[in-house]
Every structure is written in C-alpha cells, then in structure tokens.
Amino acid sequence: MWCLSHGFVAALTIPTAILGAFTLVTFLLRTWKLVRTNSQCRPVGASRWSCDYFTWNLILGTIASTAVLVTASESEPPNLRQAAMPQAVILYIAGGQLLATALMCHFGWTTPITLSSTLRGHPARPGVLVLAEDIVGVDGGGGQLYRSQLVARYEASPQFRALCQQLNWFWGAGSLAAAVALTVLIYAVNDEDVTFGLGKSRIYITKSHKPDYC
C-alpha cells in the first residue's frame, strides 16, 4: 500500500514556515504603510486604523490556508489530500468575492460594508478595481492620488466600467472553476498511480508494502 515518507511532516512544515514568514513580513509592511502618521496610502476617507480590502483578504487567506495545513499535518497519518488544498481554498475565497461584487454591480446593489475607497451604502464597484486600487496604492506607492484618480476614471468612463466588470466576471468565474478542478483532482485521483504536487509546496508520496503510517 501507499505510505507517507518519514520526512513528510518536516517537508510540509518547512515551506509552510517560509510562506508564513514572507506573509507576515508583507502584512506588517502593508499595515505600517496604512497606519503610520500622515500616510498617503490609506483609502480615500479612511481613518488611520482602517485596513484596506486587500489587507483583510490577506488576513483571511492566511488564516484559512494555515488552518488547512496545520490540521492536515497534525492528523495521523497526515492527510495528504487536505494538505494539497490551500491553493484551492485561496481560489475559492478570491473567486467567490469577485463573483459576489460582479453580481452586485450587475444588479445595481450597494455595498453592505466599506471596501477601501468604496464606502458602505455606495453603489458596488468590481472587486478587481478595488484590488487594483489597493495594490497599486500601497505596494506600488501610488497613494491616495492614484486611488482617487482610479475611482474618478471608473465613474467617468462607461468603457472602463464595462472593462472592469468583464475582468471581474473572467477572474471570478475562472478562479472558482480552477478551484473546483483542483478539488476534484485532489480527491478523485488514485494516489496509487500518481504523485502530485500543487503550487510551490510539492508533496511526494512513495510506494511501500508497510501497512502502517511511517
């Protein structure tokens, strides 16, 4: 039968720790840029202690993927299929939110919460627009000037609004489709016949005649 190699847990822990360290550094750096005095990176109209939409998603994605990896490695034997799921989980989160904002834009709904410079109660804007605003505004150094100009461009140009909505549908539906495909692959593939790795964390299994976890 198939048996996990002796170094499975260690091999899984190393990339998880590396990924976690880089994520933590990114989170701390982005947070500092947003909360420092006289910051020009914050969303338009946001208070000093407000996080932008991308930061909240960074927190949510980190918690979800870490929880999946931790529970997979702590079970005995480690759950190989679950350990391969973080990438799909992130795609579910991203795709679900993009499709949600696409539907809200299509039906003309307002946002129930503040999404960066899109205030609560304001007509919804595509998630790709909000993400572009956050990433370029903070990580790219565009600041509030870029945020305000991007929003102004969106409000003034019907063509740009249509493009953002098309991209929203494309990335939202594409992310969910990829997530479903990955989930089916992970849980339907015959692990006696294949060795599979997803993303940067490649997980290997080796064939053995030993009946127990090793």
Q: What does the pLDDT profile of the chain (214 residues) look like in tens digits?
A: 344 444 555 666 676 677 778 878 888 888 888 888 888 888 887 777 778 899 899 889 888 988 887 887 777 777 777 777 888 899 999 999 999 999 999 999 999 988 998 889 999 999 999 999 999 999 888 999 999 999 999 999 999 999 999 999 999 999 999 999 888 888 877 763 453 464 344 443 333 334 443 3
Which pTM was predicted? 0.78
Q: Which tokens belong to 54?
A: 């991308």
Which residue, 209, 171, 205, is CA-closest to 77? 205
Rounded Cα–Cα distance for residues 93 and 64 (Å): 9
Q: Is the alpha carbon torsion for 88, 63, 126, 108 positive or negative?
A: positive
- Give first-to-last CA distance, the chain, whole Å: 12
| 90 vs 26: CA distance, rounded Å | 17
**Phi–psi pair at 155, nearest 5 degrees:** -70, -30
Length of the chain: 214
Euclidean distance between CA atoms 176 and 85, whole angstroms? 14
How many other CB atoms are found less than 10 A from the CB of residue 188? 8
Instruction: Tell me if the bond preceding 77 is cis, omega within 30° of 0.
Output: yes
